[in-house]
Structure 1
Amino acid sequence: MWRSRNVWIILLGEFVVGLGLWAGIIGNLAFMQEVVPSDFHKSLIISCGILAGLVVGPLAGRIIDRSMKKTVIQWASVGRIISVLFMFMALYTNSVIWMILFLISLQIAAAFYMPALQSIIPMIVKDKDLITLNAWQMNARTISRIIGTAAAGFMLSFFELKWLYIISFIVYVMMFVITNFLQLDETANQSSSTKAKGNFKEVLPMVKEHPVVLMTLVLMLIPTLFLGSFNLVIMKISEIHHSTTISGLLYTVEGVGFMLGAAGLKLITERLNTRTLLFTLAFIIGSMELMLIFSDIKFLALVAFGVFGFSVGCFFPTTMVIFQKQVPKEFHGRFFSFRNMIDSVIFQVVLLSTGMMLDLVGLSGLGLVFGIISLSLTITFLLYSKKKKVVMHAHEV
């Protein structure tokens, strides 16, 4: 696998685009602090981009299934480059309207880029290497997040805001150049594209026909409960301990745990079958959500975030391989667009619910509610998988 040029292009591209993305996110926050006084208005502005991604999702899925994946990736990269030009206009005019256009165009590009990338991965490696490549792809994304946020924060201390977007522009151009070197055999994709002329609504019947896919989609709610509340929970723990230092420690511990989990996943899958692994991880994640009850104890808070990071580092690559293997290839574009749409909606619902529950029941109550939901889902679908005799062997993933 590591001798494949395509593999290195995918990993390098994921890292490069992540740097640009996080530089832009830090820049957006800094820009809004200067020109948007209301926190509510800030949330509305951010939601505009997310809504645009949701609206264009079905179209993106259909186009990805009917087109060459490399071409879609390249046009998505062009879309990212154009989006940064809108942000330069926002800085020049000090106008929020241009920033909204930036967020909308960036999310539209992402709505095409991410599902197309997830569809390409099964095309460039053998089935036995899927779990490894998905894990390292997520590691590249995590490393770019850590380096991107740290570098952007450092640059803001010494340079003008525009330089963050200049960096973003440069890395997006680099991404376009890098993807030109992808060598994909898309003849099989072209022959299957004749089957992909159907409607986006065909995704739901397909999911119902594949119990493994449906079950995995629902189980993904479990880590999303923690991830959607992540920043608010960390801020709350910081308030409880009257320390800003613990915030950095929690982010670091979770990030390191994630990378260790993803890096060691191949060894774990050689010892556990897929069903045992998936449900064990879901149970551990639910237990870590319950541990938020004891977040007033610094050590237990750090343990919860570290174990959660490790578990998610194993969980997400495993679910991604299930989708890539179990979903018919002619549905890949539409399915991954559908999954990204679900993630966006759930993320927003969890975020709003977290804010409400932290006000009403506090962090301990939040951990109790999320933990009970997660463990209940895990037990319910474990029993369901045994009753329906759902096959989830490691060699099939």
Structure 2
Amino acid sequence: MWKNKNVWILLIGELVAGLGLWLGIIGNLEFMQKYVPSDFMKSMILFLGLLAGVMVGPLAGRVIDSYSKKKVLIYAGIGRTLSVIFMFLALEFESIIFMICFMVCIQISAAFYFPALQSVIPLIVEEKDYIQMNGVHMNVSTISRVAGTALGGILLVIMDISFLYIGSMMAYVMILATTYLLSFEEPEYNKAKGEKSGGFTEIIPVLRRTPIAMMALVLTFVPVLFLGGFNLMVINISETQGDAAIKGLLYTAEGISFMIGAFFVKRITHLVEPIKLMFIFSFVISFAHLSLFFSDVKIMSLISFGIFGFAVGCFFPIAATIFQTKIDKQYHGRFFSFRNMFDRIMFQVVLLSTGLFLDTIGLKYMVIVFGVISLVAVFIFGVQHFKIGANKRLLDNQKKIV
């Protein structure tokens, strides 16, 4: 795997792009903290961007499966680079409208870029390397997140916020340049002129035929319940503790723990079934959510984010590997777009709920509500999964007897 130049191009590109992404996110949080006093209004602004991504999801899936994945990555990269212009306008005119335009454009670009990227990974590495590649890719993404948030915090102290977006745009230009260097064999069905794939209606039967992929998809609800309100919770914890520096520490604690988890999970996947591991780490994520009840204590908030980071660092490489191995490659574009849309819809619901709860009942009671929902979901999904498994084994045994 490490002798494959495409792997290095992808990982270096992810590192650079991640730096740009998180410089922009830190800038967005600072901008909203300055001009948007309500947590609910902050969530509404983020919601509009996610909604745009959901709207183009079906189109993105068809395009990725019908045309060159490399070209999709390039055009999405161009769109992402140009979208930063709106933030320069937002800063110049102190305009929330221009910020919303930025969020919409960058999320539309992401709706094409990330499913295409997930579809490319099975084309450049062998199946035996999937979980290692997914883990390394997510670790590189996490390193860029930790470095990007740290660099963003430093730049905010010594420079104007506009420099964050200058750095962000430069990073996007660099990832666009590295994308041109990718070289891999596209599937034949992508090259057929005039042959276009169907929509998401073809994905539902595929998921029904692969119950393990369906369960893995459903279980992503648990980490999304935490991730959907991640940035708003970080801002709220910072305000509660009266410490601006805690934002960077929380991102760092979660990021380092994520990397440890992604490294650790490769060592245990051959010992326990992947789907069982997903249930275990879903439970740990639920516990981390509940433990944020003590987030007014600095060390406890860091521990909670650390536990969460470790659990999702184990969870997501397993989920990605299940999807890449169990879903036929010819459906990858539509499936990963479908998953992207599914995640975004959940993100929107969680994001709006987080903003509303923070404004009404506060962080302490909100995490109790979300934590209990997570635990109940893990229990219900677990009972259903293992009941189906038991019935299947019973049928198999009866067939053997007959």
- What interval of TM-score do these two structures reach, taking the shorter chain for normalisation? 0.7 to 0.9
CA offset at residue 351 of structure 1?
Answer: 2.4
User: CA offset at residue 187 of structure 1?
Assistant: 3.5
- 1:229–1:350: 8 Å Cα contact kept in structure 2? yes
Comparing 111-120 with 299-308, which one deviates more in the overlay?
A: 299-308
Q: What's the CA shift for 1:235? A: 4.8
* Aligned residue-pair number: 391
CA distance in 1, matches of 2:280, 2:38: 43
The 1-side partners of 2:138 and 2:48 are apart by 26
Change (3 A) 1:203 1:155: same
- The 3-state SS of whatever aligns with 1:388 is helix
Distance 1:358 1:88 in 2: 30
- The corresponding residue for 1:111 is 111
Aligned in 2, Cα 1:151/1:195: closer, same or farther, shift over 3 Å?
same
Deviations 1:74-116 (A, max 9, x none): 1111112222334444455555544433332222111110000
In the alignment, is the contact (CA less than 8 A) between 1:20 and 1:169 conserved in 2?
Answer: yes
Structure 1 equivalent of residue 208 of structure 2:
208
Cα distance in 2 for partners of 1:61, 1:17 equals 22
* In structure 2, C-alpha distance between the alignment counterparts of 1:278 and 1:8, rounded to whole Å: 28
1:144 — aligned with what? 144
Who is 1:27 aligned against? 27
CA RMSD of superposed structures (Å): 2.9
Write the deviation string for residues 287-330 of structure 1: whole angstroms up to 9, x where unpaired. 22233345466554433322221111000111111111112222
User: What is the match of residue 400 of structure 2?
Assistant: none
Q: How much has 1:196 moved relative to structure 2?
A: 5.6
Given that 1:192 and 1:330 are in contact with CA atoms closer than 8 Å, whether structure 2 keeps it comes out as no
Counterpart secondary structure, 2:76: helix
User: How big is each residue's C-alpha offset from its partner over 1:190-227, in whole Å with a ceiling of 9 and x where there is no partner?
Assistant: 37999862123322333233211221111111111122
Counterpart-to-counterpart distance in 1, 2:221 and 2:270: 26
CA distance in 2, matches of 1:332, 1:275: 20
Per the TM alignment, residue 121 of structure 1 is displaced from its structure 2 partner at its CA by 0.7
8 Å CA contact 1:6, 1:124 repeated in 2: yes
Residue 17 of structure 1 corresponds to 17
Structure 1: segments with no counterpart, 5+ residues: 392-397
Q: Which residue does 1:336 correspond to in 2?
A: 336
Q: SS state of the match for residue 268, structure 2?
A: helix
CA contact (8 A) 1:253 1:305 kept: yes
Are 2:181 and 1:175 aligned? no
Identity rate, percent: 50
Structure 1 residue identity aligned to 2:284: I
Stretch deviating more after TM superposition (280-289 or 154-163): 154-163
Q: Secondary structure at the match of 1:271?
A: coil
CA distance in 2, matches of 1:45, 1:67: 32
Cα contact 1:132–1:265 (8 A) shared by 2 = no
Instruction: Name the structure 2 match of 1:319.
Output: 319
Name 2:278's counterpart in structure 1: 278
TM-score by length of 2: 0.86
Q: State yes or no: 1:187 paired with 2:187.
A: yes
Q: Is the 8 A contact 1:196 1:330 kept in 2?
A: no
Q: 1:202 to 1:155 in 2, by over 3 A?
A: same
Letter in 1 for 2:210: H
Q: Which moved more, 1:367-376 or 1:237-246?
A: 237-246
Contact residue 39 and residue 355 of structure 2 kept, 8 A: no
Whole-Å Cα distance in 2 between the matches of residues 307 and 157 of structure 1?
A: 29
Q: Which residue of 2 aligns with 1:365?
A: 365
Distance in 1 between residues matched to 2:117 and 2:46, nearest whole Å: 24
Shift of residue 275, structure 1, vs aligned partner? 2.5
Partner of 2:8: 8
In 2 relative to 1, CA 193–184 (structure 1 residues): closer, same or farther, beyond 3 Å?
A: farther
**1:129 is aligned with what amino acid?**
D
In structure 1, the residue corresponding to 2:185 is in which secondary structure?
A: coil
Of 152-161 and 318-327, more deviation after overlay is shown by 152-161
CA positional deviation for 1:41 = 5.4
Displacement of 1:119 in angstroms is 0.4
> For 1:242 and 1:84, how far apart are their aligned partners in 2?
31
- Kept in 2, the 8 Å contact 1:195–1:330? The answer is no
Does the C-alpha gap of structure 1 residues 257 and 347 become closer, same or farther in structure 2, counting only changes over 3 Å? same
Q: Is the 8 A contact 2:43 2:352 kept in 1?
A: no
Distance across 2 between alignment mates of 1:122 and 1:218: 22
Q: Which amino acid aligns with 1:48?
A: L
Structure 2 match to 1:130 = 130
1:272, 1:256 → 2: CA distance?
Answer: 24
Name the stretch that deviates more: 172-181 or 113-122. Answer: 172-181
Q: What's the offset of the Cα at 1:30?
A: 4.3
Q: Which residue of 2 aligns with 1:394?
A: none
Partners in 2 of 1:113 and 1:75 — Cα distance? 9
The whole-number CA distance in structure 2 between the counterparts of 1:299 and 1:33 is: 24
Distance 2:301 2:157 in 1: 30
